[in-house]
Structure 1
Amino acid sequence: MFIHKINEDTELRLLEMRYADDMFQLIDNSREHLREWLPWVDFNKNVKDSQAFIEGTMKQWAANNGFQAGIFYKGELAGVIGLHNINWQNKSTTIGYWLGDAFTGKGLMTGACQAVVDYCFNDLKLNRVEIRVATGNEKSAAIPERLCFQKEGCVRQAEWIYDHFVDHYIYGLIHEDFNKTKLD
């Protein structure tokens, strides 16, 4: 089992089937909050949907193509963070994340993202990490900004969310800049 302790109250754990019920309940209790920015919420209708997602993430991990981890706060599943996939040829990846409504505003996601970025550069030896954020999602955009990512541009109509397209800001951090922020 993979566990990465962020602080006394928070840790990352690879998603496993035993978390499917908790994950479904977290999504179900946060539907309105999550639905504004995430296109998959309505497709997660029962525990079996959460199980199918976790099964896919286990295959992703086994194929060395990234991971999805639960963010646990005081022992309770608070959200998910992971790598959408890894482009090994270009040594790059994109981080995706979400938190349940009751867990926002505690700094959990900033800490989780910092841990994943450290893992990407130090353990996986990647050169580039991206975070893509819908242009109106200010809370989500604050995370890469806090972590010294550079806003590199905007992709128009990048994602369909239920009944409309949203544009995405692309935030990037390269290994060279990551090392500079560690020294400053």
Structure 2
Amino acid sequence: MFSTALADDAHLFPLEPWYAEEFLAHMDRGREYIGEHIVLADVVTDPESARGFLATYAQKAAADSGRIYGIRVGGTLVGGVLFRTFDARSGTCEVGCWLEPAAAGRGLVTKACRILLDWAFHERGMHRAEWYASAANKKSLAVAERLGMTREGVLRQNHPHRGIRQDTEVWAVLAHEWPPAPAA
């Protein structure tokens, strides 16, 4: 297994199915905060659903169609980032994130997403990376902006979340807009 430093006490690592219990404990700690804008908190509710969710991403990784990574602070899982979709053939992927409140405000998600996007553009040759977020999720939209993404539009009332139709903002960055890889 590998781990990439995000800060002195924070690391990014592949979130595999055998972390299901830790993943569920993390969801339980941050369920209200995480679930305010994304469905993940409503999907991962017990050991079986946690294992199933992570197994889905293990299958996506095996099929080269998605990946999921955890963020640990001080050894505790506090959030994560993912390629919700990854279509190497078309050159388009979607990046996403979640975080429990204890780790918010440290720039960890932005740093982790930069690592994912560097890999997608520089290693895999992707052409476009997308970011979809509830228009009410100002923190997620701020990450997209910090990543240098362009707001492309709003899908009006396209997604029902907890009984309320919400608008979804679409942001994206193209390969030629992404910073070049550092010289070796």
| TM-score in same-fold range (> 0.5) | yes
Q: CA RMSD in A?
A: 1.8
2:158 corresponds to which residue? 158
Q: In structure 2, what is the Cα distance between the partners aligned to 1:155 and 1:14?
A: 31
**Where does the alignment leave 5 or more consecutive residues of structure 2 unmatched?**
none
TM-score, normalising length: structure 1: 0.91
Between the two proteins, the alignment pairs up a number of residues equal to 182
Q: Does 1:10 align with 2:14?
A: no
Q: In structure 2, what is the Cα distance between the partners aligned to 1:114 and 1:12?
A: 12
The one-letter code of the counterpart of 1:66 is G
- Contact persistence 2:21–2:50 (CA under 8 A): yes
Q: In structure 2, what is the Cα distance between the partners aligned to 1:17 and 1:180?
A: 33
The one-letter code of the counterpart of 1:137 is N
1:169 corresponds to which residue? 169
Q: Does 1:51 align with 2:51?
A: yes
- Contact persistence 1:39–1:160 (CA under 8 A): no
Query: How far did residue 57 of structure 1 move?
Result: 1.0
Question: Equivalent residue of 1:159, what SS?
Answer: strand
Q: In structure 1, what is the Cα distance between the partners aligned to 2:37 and 2:142?
A: 15
1:72 corresponds to which residue? 72
Question: Equivalent residue of 1:93, what SS?
Answer: strand
Output one character per residue of 1:82-134: Cα deviation in whole Å (capped at 9) or x when no partner: 11121223201000110012111111111111111111111111011011111
Q: 1:54 to 1:181 in 2, by over 3 A?
A: closer
- Contact persistence 1:148–1:181 (CA under 8 A): no
Query: How far did residue 63 of structure 1 move?
Result: 0.8
Q: 1:52 to 1:180 in 2, by over 3 A?
A: closer
Q: In structure 2, what is the Cα distance between the partners aligned to 1:87 and 1:118?
A: 16
- Contact persistence 2:132–2:171 (CA under 8 A): yes
Q: Bigger shift: 120-129 or 70-79?
A: 70-79
